[in-house]
Structure 1
Amino acid sequence: MERCTGPLLENYLATYGWTYRSSGTHEWTTGFQGQDRSFPLRISLSDTWISFHIEPYLGLDIDWEAWPEIARCLLELNGRSSMVRLSLCDQGRIEMSLEVFNKQFCYESFCTCMGLLGFYADQFYDEILGRLDSIGFNYTESLKLLT
Protein backbone atom coordinates (compact mmCIF):
# COMPACT_ATOMS: atom_id res chain seq x y z
CA MET A 1 0.00 0.00 0.00
CA GLU A 2 1.51 3.28 -1.11
CA ARG A 3 -0.63 6.05 0.45
CA CYS A 4 -3.75 6.36 2.56
CA THR A 5 -6.78 7.81 0.77
CA GLY A 6 -9.99 9.36 2.10
CA PRO A 7 -12.13 6.23 1.61
CA LEU A 8 -9.44 4.09 3.24
CA LEU A 9 -9.22 6.42 6.25
CA GLU A 10 -13.00 6.30 6.58
CA ASN A 11 -12.76 2.50 6.52
CA TYR A 12 -10.17 2.65 9.33
CA LEU A 13 -12.47 4.87 11.41
CA ALA A 14 -15.44 2.55 10.86
CA THR A 15 -13.39 -0.57 11.59
CA TYR A 16 -12.12 1.08 14.79
CA GLY A 17 -15.77 1.59 15.76
CA TRP A 18 -15.90 5.38 15.62
CA THR A 19 -18.53 7.52 14.03
CA TYR A 20 -17.20 10.44 12.03
CA ARG A 21 -18.29 13.26 9.78
CA SER A 22 -16.54 14.52 6.70
CA SER A 23 -16.00 18.22 7.29
CA GLY A 24 -14.43 19.23 4.00
CA THR A 25 -12.06 17.97 1.41
CA HIS A 26 -9.73 15.51 3.10
CA GLU A 27 -10.88 16.41 6.61
CA TRP A 28 -12.95 14.49 9.16
CA THR A 29 -14.25 15.21 12.64
CA THR A 30 -14.83 12.63 15.33
CA GLY A 31 -13.98 12.32 19.00
CA PHE A 32 -13.36 9.95 21.84
CA GLN A 33 -14.07 9.60 25.54
CA GLY A 34 -11.11 9.77 27.88
CA GLN A 35 -11.09 9.01 31.60
CA ASP A 36 -12.30 12.46 32.66
CA ARG A 37 -13.79 14.04 29.55
CA SER A 38 -14.44 13.67 25.86
CA PHE A 39 -11.96 14.96 23.30
CA PRO A 40 -12.91 16.34 19.87
CA LEU A 41 -10.66 15.02 17.10
CA ARG A 42 -10.07 16.49 13.65
CA ILE A 43 -8.18 14.42 11.08
CA SER A 44 -6.64 16.00 7.98
CA LEU A 45 -5.21 14.05 5.06
CA SER A 46 -2.70 15.26 2.49
CA ASP A 47 -0.40 13.48 0.06
CA THR A 48 2.44 13.72 2.59
CA TRP A 49 0.89 13.88 6.08
CA ILE A 50 -1.99 12.62 8.15
CA SER A 51 -2.66 15.09 10.96
CA PHE A 52 -4.66 14.37 14.10
CA HIS A 53 -5.70 17.42 16.17
CA ILE A 54 -7.52 17.50 19.48
CA GLU A 55 -8.78 21.05 19.43
CA PRO A 56 -9.48 22.40 21.90
CA TYR A 57 -7.59 20.03 24.14
CA LEU A 58 -8.30 22.20 27.15
CA GLY A 59 -11.32 24.36 26.40
CA LEU A 60 -10.46 27.13 28.81
CA ASP A 61 -9.43 30.74 28.68
CA ILE A 62 -5.87 31.23 29.87
CA ASP A 63 -4.87 34.02 32.22
CA TRP A 64 -2.07 35.51 30.13
CA GLU A 65 -0.35 36.95 33.22
CA ALA A 66 0.53 33.34 34.09
CA TRP A 67 1.70 32.52 30.57
CA PRO A 68 5.36 31.82 31.48
CA GLU A 69 4.36 29.08 33.90
CA ILE A 70 1.88 27.59 31.46
CA ALA A 71 4.41 27.72 28.60
CA ARG A 72 7.00 25.95 30.74
CA CYS A 73 4.50 23.22 31.61
CA LEU A 74 3.63 22.65 27.93
CA LEU A 75 7.28 22.57 26.90
CA GLU A 76 8.17 20.08 29.63
CA LEU A 77 5.29 17.82 28.59
CA ASN A 78 6.35 18.07 24.94
CA GLY A 79 9.82 16.94 25.97
CA ARG A 80 8.36 13.82 27.59
CA SER A 81 6.24 12.72 24.65
CA SER A 82 7.48 11.05 21.52
CA MET A 83 5.07 11.89 18.73
CA VAL A 84 2.35 13.98 20.38
CA ARG A 85 2.74 17.75 20.70
CA LEU A 86 0.95 20.40 22.71
CA SER A 87 0.63 23.86 21.19
CA LEU A 88 -1.71 26.83 20.93
CA CYS A 89 -4.38 27.06 18.24
CA ASP A 90 -5.36 30.31 16.52
CA GLN A 91 -7.84 31.09 19.31
CA GLY A 92 -5.11 30.84 21.96
CA ARG A 93 -6.34 27.55 23.41
CA ILE A 94 -4.21 24.49 24.07
CA GLU A 95 -4.38 21.80 21.39
CA MET A 96 -2.79 18.37 21.07
CA SER A 97 -1.60 17.07 17.73
CA LEU A 98 0.07 14.11 16.12
CA GLU A 99 1.35 14.04 12.55
CA VAL A 100 2.54 10.99 10.67
CA PHE A 101 3.74 10.33 7.15
CA ASN A 102 1.04 9.21 4.78
CA LYS A 103 3.32 6.82 2.92
CA GLN A 104 2.61 3.21 3.90
CA PHE A 105 0.04 4.27 6.52
CA CYS A 106 -2.03 1.18 7.35
CA TYR A 107 -4.70 0.18 9.85
CA GLU A 108 -2.05 -0.87 12.37
CA SER A 109 -0.50 2.62 12.10
CA PHE A 110 -3.96 4.14 12.59
CA CYS A 111 -4.51 2.08 15.75
CA THR A 112 -1.10 3.11 17.09
CA CYS A 113 -1.93 6.78 16.51
CA MET A 114 -5.29 6.43 18.28
CA GLY A 115 -3.61 4.67 21.20
CA LEU A 116 -0.95 7.37 21.53
CA LEU A 117 -3.51 10.17 21.39
CA GLY A 118 -5.73 8.50 23.97
CA PHE A 119 -2.85 7.76 26.33
CA TYR A 120 -1.32 11.24 26.22
CA ALA A 121 -4.70 13.02 26.22
CA ASP A 122 -5.61 11.44 29.56
CA GLN A 123 -2.15 11.61 31.10
CA PHE A 124 -1.41 15.22 30.15
CA TYR A 125 -4.93 16.47 30.98
CA ASP A 126 -4.59 15.49 34.63
CA GLU A 127 -1.01 16.72 34.78
CA ILE A 128 -1.78 20.13 33.25
CA LEU A 129 -4.69 20.74 35.60
CA GLY A 130 -2.54 19.63 38.56
CA ARG A 131 0.28 21.93 37.46
CA LEU A 132 -2.09 24.86 37.02
CA ASP A 133 -3.46 24.20 40.50
CA SER A 134 0.08 24.16 41.93
CA ILE A 135 0.81 27.65 40.56
CA GLY A 136 -2.37 29.03 42.07
CA PHE A 137 -5.02 28.57 39.41
CA ASN A 138 -8.05 26.39 39.85
CA TYR A 139 -9.95 25.06 36.87
CA THR A 140 -13.69 25.51 37.22
CA GLU A 141 -15.25 22.71 35.17
CA SER A 142 -18.70 24.29 34.92
CA LEU A 143 -17.33 27.68 33.82
CA LYS A 144 -14.41 26.29 31.80
CA LEU A 145 -12.03 28.99 32.99
CA LEU A 146 -9.08 29.44 35.27
CA THR A 147 -9.77 31.27 38.51
Structure 2
Amino acid sequence: MESDSWIYRIIDRLIGVKNVQQLREDLKTITFEKSEKFQRWDADVQKTQKQALEAANKARDSTWDKITLGLGVVGVLLGFAPIIPSVIEIVGLIISILSAIRRTAVEILIYRDPYRLRHPDNVKFAYAWNNAMNGATSLFFIRLC
Protein backbone atom coordinates (compact mmCIF):
# COMPACT_ATOMS: atom_id res chain seq x y z
CA MET A 1 0.00 0.00 0.00
CA GLU A 2 1.42 3.33 -1.05
CA SER A 3 0.63 6.28 1.12
CA ASP A 4 0.04 9.84 -0.03
CA SER A 5 1.66 11.31 3.06
CA TRP A 6 4.70 13.46 2.47
CA ILE A 7 6.58 11.73 5.29
CA TYR A 8 5.99 8.35 3.66
CA ARG A 9 7.44 9.66 0.40
CA ILE A 10 10.46 11.16 2.21
CA ILE A 11 11.14 7.88 4.01
CA ASP A 12 10.76 6.00 0.75
CA ARG A 13 13.23 8.28 -1.03
CA LEU A 14 15.79 8.48 1.79
CA ILE A 15 15.70 4.95 3.19
CA GLY A 16 13.36 3.00 1.00
CA VAL A 17 10.16 1.47 2.34
CA LYS A 18 11.28 -1.97 1.16
CA ASN A 19 14.50 -1.62 3.21
CA VAL A 20 12.52 -0.78 6.34
CA GLN A 21 10.23 -3.74 5.77
CA GLN A 22 13.27 -5.97 5.16
CA LEU A 23 14.52 -5.07 8.64
CA ARG A 24 11.24 -6.42 10.01
CA GLU A 25 11.68 -9.64 8.06
CA ASP A 26 15.28 -10.01 9.27
CA LEU A 27 14.12 -9.62 12.86
CA LYS A 28 11.46 -12.26 12.20
CA THR A 29 14.13 -14.71 11.01
CA ILE A 30 16.23 -14.04 14.10
CA THR A 31 13.19 -14.54 16.33
CA PHE A 32 12.37 -17.86 14.69
CA GLU A 33 15.92 -19.17 15.06
CA LYS A 34 16.97 -17.82 18.45
CA SER A 35 13.94 -17.51 20.68
CA GLU A 36 12.98 -20.62 22.60
CA LYS A 37 10.09 -18.81 24.24
CA PHE A 38 8.69 -17.95 20.81
CA GLN A 39 8.95 -21.58 19.70
CA ARG A 40 7.17 -22.81 22.86
CA TRP A 41 4.32 -20.36 22.32
CA ASP A 42 1.40 -22.55 21.23
CA ALA A 43 -1.15 -20.27 19.62
CA ASP A 44 -4.39 -20.90 17.78
CA VAL A 45 -3.83 -19.53 14.25
CA GLN A 46 -7.31 -18.04 13.71
CA LYS A 47 -7.45 -16.44 17.14
CA THR A 48 -3.94 -15.03 16.73
CA GLN A 49 -4.79 -13.67 13.26
CA LYS A 50 -7.73 -11.80 14.77
CA GLN A 51 -5.53 -10.49 17.60
CA ALA A 52 -2.88 -9.39 15.08
CA LEU A 53 -5.48 -7.42 13.11
CA GLU A 54 -6.80 -5.83 16.32
CA ALA A 55 -3.24 -4.92 17.34
CA ALA A 56 -2.64 -3.33 13.91
CA ASN A 57 -5.81 -1.26 14.22
CA LYS A 58 -4.86 -0.24 17.74
CA ALA A 59 -1.38 0.81 16.56
CA ARG A 60 -2.93 2.90 13.79
CA ASP A 61 -5.33 4.64 16.16
CA SER A 62 -2.91 5.06 19.02
CA THR A 63 -3.52 7.28 22.02
CA TRP A 64 0.16 8.20 21.65
CA ASP A 65 -0.65 10.04 18.40
CA LYS A 66 -3.46 12.03 19.99
CA ILE A 67 -1.34 13.04 22.98
CA THR A 68 1.71 14.04 20.93
CA LEU A 69 -0.40 15.91 18.40
CA GLY A 70 -2.07 17.84 21.21
CA LEU A 71 1.27 18.62 22.86
CA GLY A 72 2.74 19.69 19.56
CA VAL A 73 -0.14 22.04 18.74
CA VAL A 74 -0.13 23.54 22.23
CA GLY A 75 3.65 24.03 22.05
CA VAL A 76 3.46 25.76 18.68
CA LEU A 77 0.57 27.98 19.81
CA LEU A 78 2.37 28.91 23.03
CA GLY A 79 5.37 29.89 20.95
CA PHE A 80 3.36 32.78 19.52
CA ALA A 81 2.82 34.26 22.98
CA PRO A 82 5.29 37.10 23.63
CA ILE A 83 5.96 35.99 27.21
CA ILE A 84 6.90 32.39 26.52
CA PRO A 85 10.20 31.79 24.71
CA SER A 86 10.22 30.28 21.25
CA VAL A 87 11.98 27.19 22.61
CA ILE A 88 8.54 25.84 23.50
CA GLU A 89 7.45 26.41 19.91
CA ILE A 90 10.45 24.47 18.62
CA VAL A 91 9.79 21.62 21.07
CA GLY A 92 6.13 21.55 20.00
CA LEU A 93 7.16 21.41 16.36
CA ILE A 94 9.62 18.56 17.04
CA ILE A 95 6.94 16.62 18.92
CA SER A 96 4.52 17.08 16.02
CA ILE A 97 7.09 15.91 13.48
CA LEU A 98 8.02 12.86 15.57
CA SER A 99 4.34 11.99 15.87
CA ALA A 100 3.90 12.17 12.10
CA ILE A 101 7.00 10.00 11.58
CA ARG A 102 5.69 7.46 14.10
CA ARG A 103 2.34 7.26 12.35
CA THR A 104 4.03 6.74 8.99
CA ALA A 105 6.39 4.14 10.45
CA VAL A 106 3.40 2.22 11.78
CA GLU A 107 1.81 2.22 8.32
CA ILE A 108 5.05 0.95 6.79
CA LEU A 109 5.86 -1.71 9.38
CA ILE A 110 2.62 -3.31 10.54
CA TYR A 111 1.20 -6.48 9.06
CA ARG A 112 -1.99 -5.10 7.54
CA ASP A 113 -3.62 -8.41 6.62
CA PRO A 114 -2.62 -11.20 9.01
CA TYR A 115 -5.33 -13.42 7.49
CA ARG A 116 -3.04 -13.94 4.50
CA LEU A 117 -0.48 -15.56 6.77
CA ARG A 118 -0.98 -19.28 7.23
CA HIS A 119 2.11 -20.60 8.98
CA PRO A 120 1.67 -20.45 12.78
CA ASP A 121 5.10 -18.88 13.33
CA ASN A 122 4.35 -16.08 10.86
CA VAL A 123 0.98 -15.40 12.49
CA LYS A 124 2.53 -15.33 15.98
CA PHE A 125 5.23 -12.94 14.80
CA ALA A 126 2.65 -10.68 13.10
CA TYR A 127 0.67 -10.46 16.32
CA ALA A 128 3.76 -9.73 18.43
CA TRP A 129 5.03 -7.20 15.90
CA ASN A 130 1.74 -5.34 15.51
CA ASN A 131 1.34 -5.24 19.26
CA ALA A 132 4.81 -3.70 19.63
CA MET A 133 4.00 -0.99 17.07
CA ASN A 134 1.51 0.61 19.45
CA GLY A 135 3.56 3.41 20.99
CA ALA A 136 6.95 4.96 20.43
CA THR A 137 8.54 1.61 19.52
CA SER A 138 8.00 2.29 15.82
CA LEU A 139 10.27 5.36 16.01
CA PHE A 140 13.17 3.16 17.09
CA PHE A 141 12.83 0.93 14.04
CA ILE A 142 13.09 3.88 11.65
CA ARG A 143 16.24 4.91 13.52
CA LEU A 144 17.78 1.44 13.02
CA CYS A 145 17.51 1.76 9.26
Name the structure with the higher helix share: 2
Normalising by structure 1, report the TM-score: 0.30
User: Which has the higher relative contact order, 1 or 2, with Cα contacts under 8 A spaced 6 or more apart?
Assistant: 2
Higher gyration radius (CA) = 2
Normalising by structure 2, report the TM-score: 0.30
Name the structure with the higher strand share: 1
